Structure 1
C-alpha cells in the first residue's frame, strides 16, 4: 500500500516513519511518498528517515516530491499536515490579534479564522487532485484548524476525509491510567468540536470512572487539566474539558500572560525550527539525535506562554514511539489506517460528519465524537447523552463562526470573513473585528488573495 504524507518535511513525519518500520502486520505500507514545497525541510526529513531505517531490511520504499500529483497518484492513504503561509504566517495570526488585546492562537480565536481562510483554497486544490488521481484513498487530515479544514474537504471528498487530533484520545488514556484502569477496555464519552470538547464519562470494565477521579484530590492532582483549570472547576463542570477551553474559561488571563511573555508560540517555533533545519542540513549522522532534542524542547514548552508556567501537555520521551499514546497525531492517524486496511475495529475520537449524532447541529457539520473505524469506513457512534446547554451553546456559536470562515474562503467574501471575526466570542466587538480583518488582509498575502471580493 502507498501512503502519501503532505507536508512531509514537517516534525511529525519521523514518528509516522518509526511506527511503519516496526509494523509487521498485513497488509502494510510498502511505499511512503513525501510531498513538501520546501526543499530544505524535505531533504532534512529524508535524511532523518534514512538514519532511522538503518537495521530494518523491510523498510517501506521512500520517495519525495515537490510536486503534488506524483506524490498522491495511486495512494491508498493520505496524511495531510501542511502550514500555508509557513511559521511567518502563524506569527502574524498571533500578533495581529494580540495587537488588539485579543487571543492570538493558531486554531482558537481570530488567528484560527485567518489560518483557515488562507488554507482552505490550497486544501481544495489538493482535494480535487486527490479525487482525480487517488479516488479511493482515505484522506486523514492533521492540517489546522482541523475541524474547519475537514469540513471544507468533505465538500469534495465526502466521508473519505476525516480529521484527527490526539488530545481527546490522550485525555482518556491518562484518566484511565490515573484511576488504574486498562484503557484498551475503556469507552470514552466525548463531545465537541476540534479543540473545543468535553469528556463526560469514561467507562472501564462497565463502570464510569470519571466520578472516582473528580472526587479524589490526590488522583485529580495528577491530571494536567486540574492544574490548568483548577480542581473545583472540573467538579463544577462534572467533566474534563479539552485543554484548549482554557482560552475560553480564562481568556483574560491567557491574553495577559501571552502579552507579558517575551515571545509568542509562533515566534518560538519560527526561531527554533529555523535553527533546527539549518543545523540539521549540516548534522551528518547525528541528525536524528538533533531532531529528538528539538522535539523534546518543543513539547516541553507547549502552551507555556498562555499558562504562565503551568504544565500543560505531557512531554515526549526518548522511548515514546514504543507507546502509541505518545505518537500524538501520528499515532491516531496510523490507528485509523490500520483499522481500515486490516479491519481491526477501533473506537477513536475523530472529526466526522455529524449525521444527527449531536442534536442541534447540522447533519453535515463536522463534530468531534467517538467513531467506530473498520474496513467499511468510519462510523460515528451514538452518544451516551446529548451535550448540555453550555456545551451545545458554545458548539453552535463556534460552528457558526467556522461556517462563515469556510464560506469566506470559498467565495472570497470579506463580509463573510467579517461575520466570522465579529461573531467569535473571544472577539466580541464589531469595531475590533473590522480591525482584525483589515490587519490580516494587510499583513498576510494568503488572506488577501483568498478574500478577493
Structure 2
C-alpha cells in the first residue's frame, strides 16, 4: 500500500513512520510519500526517517516531493497533518487573543477559529485533488482544528475522510489504568466534539466501573484529568472531561497561567533549533529528534498542570504513543478488514441527539473493511449538550465564512464562541488576525 503524508516535513512525522516500521502484518504500507511546501524540512525529516529505519528488514520506502499531485497519485491512504501559516501563524493565533484578554490556544476559542478560517480553503483544495487523483483513497485527517477541518473536507470526500485525535484514547487509558484494568478490555461511553468531550461511562465485563472510580479518591488522583479539574468538579459533572475542557471550565485560570512564552512560541523556538541542528549535523538527526520530542511531550498543556498543581505528565503517558497508533489501527482495520472499535471524528447522522445530522462528532465507531459506522449514544444532559450545540454552531459558521470569504460570518464565528465576550471584541480579533497572518488575510482581504 502507498501512504501519502501531507505536512511530511512536520516534526511528528517520524512517529507515524515508526509505527509503520513496527507493523509486520499484511497488507502493509510499503511506500510513504512525504509532501510539504518546504524542501528543507523534508530533507531534515528524511534524515530522521533513514536513521529510524536502520536495522529494520524491508522498511517502507520513503519518497519526498513539494508537488501535491505527485504525492496523491495512486495513494491508498492520505494522512493530512498540515499547518497553514506554520508555527508563526500559531503564535499569532495565541497572541492576538491574549492581547485582548482572551484565551490564546491553538484549537480552543479564538485561536482555533483563526486556524480553521485560513486552513479550510487549503483543506478543500486537498480534498478536491484527492477526489481527482486518488478517488478510492481514505483520508485520515489530523489537521487541526480536526473536527472543523474534517467536516469541511466531507463536502468533497464524504465518508472517505475520517478525523482522528489522541486525547480521548489517552483519557480512557488513564481511567482504566487507575482501576487496574486493561484499556483494551473496556468499552467507553465517550461523546462530544474534537477537544470537547466527556467520558461518561467505562464498561468492564458488563458493568460500568466509572462511578466507582469517581468515588475512589486514591484511584481518581491517578488520572491526570481528575488532578487538573479537581475531584469535586468531576464528581459534580458525573464524568471525566477531555483535558481541553479545562479552557472552558477554568477560563480565567487558563488565561492567567499563560505568562511568558506561549505554547506556540516555545514550540517555534524548539523546532527552529531542531531543524537547524539537523542541518548542521545530519548524522545526529535521530538523536536530535528524540531529545526535542521528549521536551515537547513533557511540556504539553503545561499551563493547565501548573495552574492546578497536577504535576508532571506520567511516564506511561509519554511512552504510550498517540495519534500515530490510532492512524495505523484505522488503516489496518480498513485495509485488512480487521474489526475494531475506535473513537473517531465522523458524520453524526442520528448518533448524538440534539446535534445536526451533518455535524462531525467525536464518538466510538465500528471500523472494518467497509469503512466506519458510528455507534448511537445516550442523550446528553443540558449542561453538556448546550455547550456542544454552541461550539458546533461556531464551527459551521466558520466553515461558511471560509468558503465564502465573508468577513461578517468570520466575525459571527468569533462572536458566537462562548470564550469570546463581545461582538466588538470579535471585530478586533478578525482585524488582529488579518494584520498578523497573511494566509488569513488572503481569505478575508477586507
Asked whether the two chains share a fold, i.e. TM above 0.5, the reply is yes
How many angstroms apart in 2 are the aligned matches of 1:272 and 1:439? 26
In 1, the alpha carbon distance for the partners of 2:122 and 2:248 equals: 29
Which residue is equivalent to 1:135?
A: 135
**Aligned residue in 2 for 1:201:** 201
Question: How far apart, in 2, do the equivalents of 1:328 and 1:207 lie?
Answer: 27
Q: 1:284 aligns with which of 282, 306, 325?
A: 282
On the 8 A contact 1:413/1:452 being kept in 2, the answer is: no
Residue aligned with 2:365, SS = strand
In the alignment, the residues of structure 2 paired with residue 133 and residue 406 of structure 1 have an alpha-carbon distance, to the nearest angstrom, of 24
Cα displacement (A) at 1:46: 0.6
Superposition map of 1:434-449 within 5 A: 434-449=427-442
1:323 matched residue in structure 2: none
- CA deviation string 1:310-348 (max 9, x = no partner): 44784677993xxxxx22111111111001011111111
Matched, 1:73 2:67: no
**Pairs aligned (count):** 445
5+ residue gaps, structure 1: 321-325
In structure 1, distance between residues paired with 2:22 and 2:266:
33
SS at match of 2:115: helix
Partner of residue 376 from structure 1, selected from 370, 375, 378 = 370
Alpha-carbon distance in 1 for matches of 2:315, 2:138:
28
Deviations 1:395-415 (A, max 9, x none): 000001101100010000000
1:305 paired to 2:303: yes
- For 1:395, the equivalent position in structure 2 comes to 388
Query: Is contact 1:30–1:60 with CA below 8 Å preserved after alignment?
Result: yes
CA RMSD after TM alignment: 1.5
Aligned residue in 1 for 2:243: 243
What is the deviation of 1:204?
A: 1.3
Q: Check 1:135–1:315 CA distance in 2 against 1; reply closer, same or farther (3 A cut).
A: farther
> CA contact under 8 A between 2:91 and 2:262: conserved in structure 1?
yes
**2:224 aligned residue:** 224
Partner Cα separation in structure 1 for residue 334 and residue 113 of structure 2: 32
Return the offset for 1:70.
0.8
Residue 331 of structure 1 corresponds to 325
Tell me, yes or no, if the aligned pair for 1:96 and 1:439 is still in contact at 8 Å: yes
DSSP 3-state at the match of 2:428:
helix
Match of 1:55 in 2: 55
**Shift in CA distance, 15/390, structure 1 to aligned 2, threshold 3 Å:** same
Aligned counterparts of 1:359 and 1:312: Cα–Cα separation in 2: 37
**Aligned residue for 2:423?**
430
Gaps of 5+ in 2: none
Contact 1:127 1:157 survives alignment (8 Å): yes
Residue aligning to 1:255: 255
Q: Deviations over 1:139-158 (max 9, x none)?
A: 00000000000000000000
Displacement of 1:290: 1.2
- The answer (yes or no) to whether the contact 2:174–2:224 under 8 Å persists in 1 is no
Post-superposition CA distance 1:207-241 (Å, at most 9, x none) = 11111111110111111112110001011111000
Contact 2:278 2:288 in 1 (8 A): yes
- Taking the aligned partners of 1:313 and 1:64, their CA distance within structure 2 comes to 37
Q: Deviation at 1:87?
A: 0.5
Structure 1 length as normaliser, TM-score? 0.96
Q: Counterpart of 1:265?
A: 263
Q: Is the 8 A contact 2:9 2:42 kept in 1?
A: yes
Q: Does structure 1 retain, via aligned residues, the 8 Å contact 2:171–2:225?
A: no
Alignment match of 1:359 (pick from 350, 353, 356): 353
SS of alignment partner, residue 280 of structure 2: coil
1-side partners of 2:313 and 2:33: how far apart? 30
Q: CA offsets, 1:179-204, max 9 Å, x none?
A: 11122121110110000000000111
Residue 264 of structure 1: how far off its partner (Å): 0.4
Contact 1:97-1:103 at 8 Å conserved across structures: yes
**1:42 match: secondary structure:** helix
Cα deviation 1:37-78 (Å, max 9, x = unaligned): 112211111111101111112111110001101111110001
Conserved? CA contact 1:257–1:307, under 8 Å: no
What CA distance in whole angstroms lies between the structure 1 residues aligned with 2:402 and 2:206? Answer: 45
Aligned to 2:164: 164
Inter-CA distance 311–318: structure 2 relative to 1 (3 Å threshold):
closer
Given the superposition, is the C-alpha separation of residues 76 and 312 from structure 1 closer, same or farther in structure 2, using an over 3 Å criterion? farther
Structure 1 partner of 2:405: 412
